[in-house]
A and B are shown apart, each in its own frame.
Chain A
Amino acid sequence: MSKAAPRGANSAPSQQPLADTQAPNEGDGVETSPGVCDRVAKTTCYMCACRCGIDVHIKDGKVRYINGNKDHPVNRGVICGKGSAGIMQHYSPARLRKPLLRSGPRGSGEFREIEWDEALTIATERLSAIRRTDPKKLAFFTGRDQSQSLTGWWASKFGTPNFAAHGGFCSVNMAAGGLYTIGGSFWEFGEPDWDNTKYFMLFGVAEDHDSNPIKIGLGKLKARGAKVVSINPCRTGYNAIADDWIGIRPGTDGLFVLALVHELLKAGRVDLDYLLRYTNAPVLVVQEPGSADDGLFARDDAGNPLAWDRVAKTAVNASDPNAKPALTGNYTVNGSRCVPVFQLVADRYLDGSYSPDAVAARCGISAETIRRIAAELAHVAFQQTIELPIAWTDWAGRRHETIKGRPVSMHAMRGISAHSNGFHTCRAIHLLQVLLGTVDVPGGFRFKPPYPRPAPPGPKPAGKDAQPMTPLDGMPLGFVCGPDDLLVDAAGRPTRIDKAYSWEAPLAAHGLMHSVIRNAWAGDPYPIDTLMMYMSNMAWNSSMNTVETIRMLTDKDEAGGYKIPFIIYSDAYYSETVAFADLVLPDTTYLERHDCISLLDRPISHADGPGDAIRHPVVQPDRDVRPFQSVLIELGARLGLPGFVDEDGSAKYRDYADYIVNHERTPGIGPLAGWRGKDGGSMGKGDVNPDQLQRYIDNGGFWHQDFSDDQRYYKMANRAYLDFAVEMGFIAKAEPIVFQLYSEPMQRFRLAARGHGEVRPPDAEGRRIEAYMDPLPFWYAPFEDESVDLEKYPLHALTQRPMHMYHSWGSQNAWLRQITSQNRLFVHHQTAAGLDLVDDDWVWIESINGRVKGQIKLVDGVNPDTVWTWNAIGKRRGSWGLKDDAAESNRGFLLNHIIGDQTAADAGGKRYSNSDPVTGQAAWFDVRVRIVKCALEEAGFTEPQFERFRQPPHMEPSPDVLRFGADFRIKREAAE
């Protein structure tokens, strides 16, 4: 986003008000200047995770309308389809009204209302018993919330390692793939240089977290006529407006990207200077098969990786700015044969198996197209170079008169990550970017602070051996650098309930929320007592294999008790998961509470500067509900968790607002970075400022700091930036961040599999570790492709985010659901013809995991071997305040029913989570299906069907007619 941007995104001359906005005297009696509101409250939207700034217009105590905040760094005045429908979320009839205690069988929806004190007492007694005996027996998992720095800290103080947010089933492949490679990542932690890029490649994105920034960006590219290339099996939304749509076969991007790498290497179109300065390309790798350091970096006594100096003909510290490192060759360093990383890169990707001709058929992309894209990339990167007339100084003190840029940018998300080969594919894309020299340069992909961080960033995950009444020695989630950091016991068994950081998912930086219910049910690796969840619809659209998941949630043991003994859940609405909770803690809506979008979590920074934001109550709840964060803080106090109570045992924080202002994670660093210090004069680090929240509110609900021009690019090696990052506490030392083309941590796992080191995998796991912990990116077929009969299940089945729906929330929204309340299965015309299916037919969609019924719509804009549908439209009858005849539960369907949560059994009969073997990322998009026309009498309604949920007491009945806005008019006209 350029600094001199005019106020608001839509500010083209053709989007301005009329030169004279004086109403003409038409004499038709139209009131052209009605009063619009009594006050405007500026806060942060939460109709999705994009964190846009909104102006909430309040009239007669009701929300009149919501629009985008023009000054906000995220959305700059625009607002998306969901954001404008916030009113209907806020006034949803599905809102929970009071704490609930289960009174019928689990899953029935029978509850009785209880008072908050009773609710908190029940929870406290249960949890303190657990904490006194075995804290692991509390599994605390959260979903779409933006308070993971609080929830994680709470879990750590409670002493359970069993904490994670939704990242494991979301896109940890992107996070880990990026953080282990370039110290930053796609997701919403980086962005293309929208103002300068000339060639933009979009891999596997329908919407993404950066909903509005991406749309604003695409608008800019279109206005500038920059080229947009979409790699996506489906041609909708962003991909519909691409100049080049490449309808790739799902799961094969790794091949496609590495074929591009092959072409670029072959033609010598890579940025050697960039590789030498900013990557580990020159670092020497020991090549001594069988030895304990085979494949590790050659290091000096101080532990610095070595490179070979071409001139001095000797090994030197790879980070020595004056070295003249070799990128190729064979060298002997203290007795071992070594080659530079880049030699390994060249050897692997120049191989014919990565040639366009070799991969074309598998990717469903012609070799000639692959060659064309490679040529275009090279052309734009090396012939259309841009140079900003801004001087900057790199980490080593070398002054550069200009900032050079290669205007090729890329963005990728779940189309890449939601496959069992997603981690390596994501690394492959970063490799491609780095070879072209386009990371954090003008026109390229740019980091958003607090990134970049060292690849991988510290700290390591805590919780190897949880002890009663003792906090963990750190945060439950972190980054492992080798087997020693794994959370496994002596026998190699996982110590976390989700098996994160075990041999089954070594780099599981976000945990594996999607395997918690099965593991807890199976008591594998151990049984738990209480499952506490927050803001995640685990009994429906965020679980794989939904039917089984529901069974596991309600399954009982011999003694007649539930296999998962106790479930506490906080939701704001009557979602499918609420009915499976024993204790329900009703939350507020996003307009009724404080929230903190923190630099410690998922901030609102953009590439030109850090920022964070708050939500604050703009209207008061009309129900007996409480913000979950405040409830969590009170629970912490009642449990006497360290950090939540003062010496005298009294509560340390009144509520979340109090915590946001007064909590310090490390001295001077708290949830909010803006207006710190007594007088609010400092940012990043500083004393607690009692007026901090007010300062945020006065500023429109956010804080944002713009970089000076010389800080904007090359952040991985830019002294001005690195110094700033240290001041802000983003990184510990102002040292360069070296891109890891070759990942040494991964090689350490391989060595363990080969029998080296203290911590070694059980034989069963060794094979997987050897195969998948490859230090260089490679491609392998998604697991399901390997395990199912592709003759029987020839099609790939995908879901896409509808831009106007946020997962399951949208269906309770009277406006949004009118747009989509039935999801169709989109099928290519040819494919349908082959199965003699016609438009609007009803079909069974069958996978090895089961079948679900839906109605098809024929299209051309899809890979012919792929079918897809909108995500999370199907609903269970009785939930979300919907009537029994609602399309969502009668004609809409949920693909999750047929997505397995486990892989097929391996030779040893073992089944793994249906996830990426490196990170544990859920492999949603691996599923293979066939579609079969259903019998005449089966047409017209979806299956499987589930028993209707009963309604909790005193739920608002959903109206038959909605006249929202009528009152405003009546009042207005009365006043006139």
Chain B
Amino acid sequence: MTCLPAQTEKKLGLVIDLDTCVGCQACVTACKEWNAGGHMAPLTDIDPYGGHADGVWFNRVHSYEHTTEQGGRTVNFPRSCLHCEQPACVTVCPTGASYKRASDGIVLVDEDKCIGCKLCSWACPYGAREFDTDVGVMKKCTLCVDRIYNDNLAVEDRVPACVAACPTSARHFGDLGDPASAISQLVEERGGVALMPELGYRPTNRYLPPRARGERAAKVDAPALEPIRGEGGFLGWIDRMLSN
């Protein structure tokens, strides 16, 4: 059913810390490897060893240079489905293949219904939908729905593959619908932002912006170094130091 649930019990999603992401691609391949054999398997790779390699990936990392008056910064930017609250990718779907779960808000594709009309990918402003030309159906980030509730995994492993992998701890997971949740708090503290808010898709995922220079780190306001005055200069100072 491609009508959207009035509201969802939970709003599960990811938060990505752009201040910490080093662009290592761990979340990208961890996602690929889990999902290649997971709920939407396979994530087909066309011409994998040739000159037009084109595979299905649910998470991709871009690099940008952000230049402001404060100066320039290189920003690594992971991009995956934001599990929007008002996702047109769902409402435009003619078959009901694309849907948003009423329970946890995860946006999924039911491959058996999908006719591969690609309209949902046109309707997604974020490029989060990946068409598998080999199978002829649309695929996308499942928020690891086959991990986060998986009884066959140890409880501690029931988090998205990309979150578990991230070596810098730049990825977070949880219920963004619950203001008390750790992840909502984090967004609060760090002023997490939604992407393209003006389009009204109301993404669930948030991005923690790089803290501007200066505020980004505990400031080291060190007084300038003063050359040693006293007699004998530096060497004199040493003698004084050692003799007392």
Among B49, B169, B241, the residue within 8 A (CB) of A93 is B49
With contact pairs A215-B168, A961-B45 given, residues A266 and B225 touching in the complex (Cβ less than 8 Å): yes
Q: Which of B79-87, B122-130, B193-201, B231-239 contacts A (4 or more CB under 8 A)?
A: B231-239
Query: Which chain B positions have C-beta within 8 A of A87?
Result: 33
Please tell me if the beta carbons of A267 and B226 are within 8 angstroms of each other in the complex: yes
Classify chain B: how many residues form its interface, as a range: 35 or more
Query: Which chain B positions have C-beta within 8 A of A25?
Result: 103
Tell me, yes or no, whether A960 is within 8 Å of chain B by CB.
Answer: yes
Tell me, yes or no, whether A79 is within 8 Å of chain B by CB.
Answer: yes
Please tell me if the beta carbons of B220 and A379 are within 8 angstroms of each other in the complex: yes
Tell me, yes or no, whether B228 is within 8 Å of chain A by CB.
Answer: yes
Q: Which of A40-97 contact B (CB under 8 A)?
A: 59, 64-68, 70, 75, 77-85, 87, 93
Query: Which chain B positions have C-beta within 8 A of A966?
Result: 41-42
**Distance from B153 Cβ to chain A, minimum over Cβ atoms (Å):** 6
Query: Which chain A positions have C-beta within 8 A of B26?
Result: 78-81, 83-84
Tell me, yes or no, whether A222 is within 8 Å of chain B by CB.
Answer: yes
Q: Which of B14-55 contact A (CB under 8 A)?
A: 15, 17, 19-26, 28-30, 32-39, 41-55
Closest to A276 in B: B242
Closest to A814 in B: B48
Tell me, yes or no, whether A835 is within 8 Å of chain B by CB.
Answer: no
**Distance from A873 Cβ to chain B, minimum over Cβ atoms (Å):** 14
Tell me, yes or no, whether A117 is within 8 Å of chain B by CB.
Answer: no
Q: How far is the CA of A15 from the CA of B239 in the complex (A)?
A: 55
**Distance from B57 Cβ to chain A, minimum over Cβ atoms (Å):** 8
Query: Which chain B positions have C-beta within 8 A of A265?
Result: 234
Please tell me if the beta carbons of B152 and A75 are within 8 angstroms of each other in the complex: no
Closest to A227 in B: B217
Q: Write out, one digit per residue, whether chain A residues 1-42 have a CB within 8 A of any chain B CB (1) or not (0).
A: 000000111101111111001111110111111111000000
Classify chain A: how many residues form its interface, as a range: 35 or more
Please tell me if the beta carbons of B156 and A227 are within 8 angstroms of each other in the complex: no
Query: Which chain B positions have C-beta within 8 A of A226?
Result: 217-218
Q: How far is the CA of A651 from the CA of B139 in the complex (A)?
A: 56
**Distance from A354 Cβ to chain B, minimum over Cβ atoms (Å):** 13
Please tell me if the beta carbons of A375 and B225 are within 8 angstroms of each other in the complex: yes
Q: Which of A314-354 contact B (CB under 8 A)?
A: 324, 326-328, 342-343, 346, 350
With contact pairs A10-B169, A328-B238, A961-B44 given, residues A804 and B25 touching in the complex (Cβ less than 8 Å): yes
Interface centre among B102, B185, B242 (most CB of A within 10 A): B242
**Distance from A612 Cβ to chain B, minimum over Cβ atoms (Å):** 22
Please tell me if the beta carbons of A65 and B15 are within 8 angstroms of each other in the complex: no
Q: How far is the CA of A17 from the CA of B226 in the complex (A)?
A: 53
Please tell me if the beta carbons of B15 and A267 are within 8 angstroms of each other in the complex: no
Query: Which chain A positions have C-beta within 8 A of B158?
Result: 17-18, 21
Q: How far is the CA of A36 from the CA of B36 in the complex (A)?
A: 12
Please tell me if the beta carbons of B228 and A267 are within 8 angstroms of each other in the complex: yes
Query: Which chain A positions have C-beta within 8 A of B48?
Result: 814, 817-818, 958-959, 961-962
Tell me, yes or no, whether A225 is within 8 Å of chain B by CB.
Answer: yes
**Distance from B14 Cβ to chain A, minimum over Cβ atoms (Å):** 10
Please tell me if the beta carbons of B45 and A814 are within 8 angstroms of each other in the complex: yes
Query: Which chain A positions have C-beta within 8 A of B76?
Result: 237, 240
Q: Which of B127-152 contact A (CB under 8 A)?
A: 134, 145-146, 148-152
**Distance from A15 Cβ to chain B, minimum over Cβ atoms (Å):** 6
Please tell me if the beta carbons of B225 and A269 are within 8 angstroms of each other in the complex: yes
Please tell me if the beta carbons of A969 and B42 are within 8 angstroms of each other in the complex: yes
Tell me, yes or no, whether A821 is within 8 Å of chain B by CB.
Answer: yes
Query: Which chain A positions have C-beta within 8 A of B238?
Result: 268, 272, 327-328, 342, 346
Query: Which chain B positions have C-beta within 8 A of A310?
Result: 242-243
Q: How far is the CA of A968 from the CA of B174 in the complex (A)?
A: 28
Tell me, yes or no, whether A803 is within 8 Å of chain B by CB.
Answer: yes
Tell me, yes or no, whether A748 is within 8 Å of chain B by CB.
Answer: no
With contact pairs A13-B182, A67-B165 given, residues A199 and B148 touching in the complex (Cβ less than 8 Å): no
Among A15, A328, A378, A861, the residue within 8 A (CB) of B225 is A378
Tell me, yes or no, whether A153 is within 8 Å of chain B by CB.
Answer: no
Q: How far is the CA of A93 from the CA of B48 in the complex (A)?
A: 11
Q: Which of A364-392 contact B (CB under 8 A)?
A: 371-372, 374-376, 378-380, 383
Please tell me if the beta carbons of A815 and B55 are within 8 angstroms of each other in the complex: yes
Query: Which chain B positions have C-beta within 8 A of A324?
Result: 242
Closest to B146 in A: A34
Q: How far is the CA of A552 from the CA of B19 in the complex (A)?
A: 48
Q: Write out, one digit per residue, whether chain A residues 761-774 have a CB within 8 A of any chain B CB (1) or not (0).
A: 00000000000000
Closest to A263 in B: B225
With contact pairs A268-B234, A965-B43 given, residues A28 and B110 touching in the complex (Cβ less than 8 Å): yes
Please tell me if the beta carbons of A32 and B223 are within 8 angstroms of each other in the complex: no
**Distance from A875 Cβ to chain B, minimum over Cβ atoms (Å):** 11
Please tell me if the beta carbons of B225 and A885 are within 8 angstroms of each other in the complex: no
Query: Which chain B positions have C-beta within 8 A of A22?
Result: 149
**Distance from A276 Cβ to chain B, minimum over Cβ atoms (Å):** 8
Tell me, yes or no, whether A672 is within 8 Å of chain B by CB.
Answer: no
Q: How far is the CA of A885 from the CA of B47 in the complex (A)?
A: 10
With contact pairs A215-B24, A804-B29, A860-B72 given, residues A36 and B45 touching in the complex (Cβ less than 8 Å): no
Q: Write out, one digit per residue, whether chain B residues 203-244 have a CB within 8 A of any chain A CB (1) or not (0).
A: 000000010010011101111111110000011011101110
Tell me, yes or no, whether A512 is within 8 Å of chain B by CB.
Answer: no
**Distance from A391 Cβ to chain B, minimum over Cβ atoms (Å):** 26
Please tell me if the beta carbons of B22 and A240 are within 8 angstroms of each other in the complex: yes
Q: Which of A198-236 contact B (CB under 8 A)?
A: 198-199, 211-212, 215-216, 218-220, 222-228, 235-236
Tell me, yes or no, whether A883 is within 8 Å of chain B by CB.
Answer: yes
Query: Which chain B positions have C-beta within 8 A of A243?
Result: 213, 216-217
Q: How far is the CA of A965 from the CA of B163 in the complex (A)?
A: 21
Please tell me if the beta carbons of B22 and A241 are within 8 angstroms of each other in the complex: yes
Please tell me if the beta carbons of A212 and B173 are within 8 angstroms of each other in the complex: no
Query: Which chain A positions have C-beta within 8 A of B159?
Result: 10, 15-17
Q: How far is the CA of A965 from the CA of B28 in the complex (A)?
A: 16
Tell me, yes or no, whether A963 is within 8 Å of chain B by CB.
Answer: yes
Please tell me if the beta carbons of A84 and B165 are within 8 angstroms of each other in the complex: yes
Q: How far is the CA of A535 from the CA of B199 in the complex (A)?
A: 53
Q: How far is the CA of A739 from the CA of B149 in the complex (A)?
A: 55
Query: Which chain B positions have C-beta within 8 A of A18?
Result: 12, 148, 158, 174-175
Among B54, B103, B165, B217, the residue within 8 A (CB) of A68 is B165
Q: Which of A941-976 contact B (CB under 8 A)?
A: 958-966, 968-969
Q: How far is the CA of A861 from the CA of B235 in the complex (A)?
A: 42
Query: Which chain B positions have C-beta within 8 A of A212?
Result: 167
Tell me, yes or no, whether A819 is within 8 Å of chain B by CB.
Answer: yes
Tell me, yes or no, whether A283 is within 8 Å of chain B by CB.
Answer: no
With contact pairs A81-B29, A218-B168 given, residues A969 and B175 touching in the complex (Cβ less than 8 Å): no
Closest to B182 in A: A13
Among B167, B216, B234, B235, the residue within 8 A (CB) of A216 is B167
**Distance from B187 Cβ to chain A, minimum over Cβ atoms (Å):** 9
Q: How far is the CA of A83 from the CA of B171 in the complex (A)?
A: 18
Tell me, yes or no, whether B155 is within 8 Å of chain A by CB.
Answer: yes
Q: Write out, one digit per residue, whether chain B residues 102-120 have a CB within 8 A of any chain A CB (1) or not (0).
A: 1110001010000000000
Q: How far is the CA of A793 from the CA of B102 in the complex (A)?
A: 64
7 additional A-B residue pairs with CB within 8 Å, beyond A235-B73, A346-B235: A23-B149, A28-B101, A34-B39, A236-B74, A240-B74, A342-B238, A969-B42
Instruction: Give chain B's interface residues, CB within 8 Å of chain A.
Output: 9-10, 12, 15, 17, 19-26, 28-30, 32-39, 41-55, 57, 63, 65, 67, 72-76, 99, 101-104, 108, 110, 134, 145-146, 148-153, 155-159, 161, 163-175, 181-183, 185-186, 210, 213, 216-218, 220-228, 234-235, 237-239, 241-243
30 A-B pairs whose Cβ atoms sit less than 8 Å apart in the complex: A10-B166, A10-B171, A18-B12, A18-B148, A18-B175, A23-B149, A24-B9, A30-B145, A33-B152, A34-B38, A68-B164, A78-B165, A78-B167, A80-B25, A80-B26, A83-B26, A83-B29, A93-B49, A215-B22, A219-B170, A241-B20, A371-B224, A372-B222, A814-B48, A818-B45, A861-B65, A881-B49, A961-B48, A965-B37, A969-B41
The 9 closest A-B pairs by CB, nearest first: A379-B222, A885-B51, A81-B25, A24-B103, A215-B167, A13-B182, A965-B36, A23-B149, A965-B37
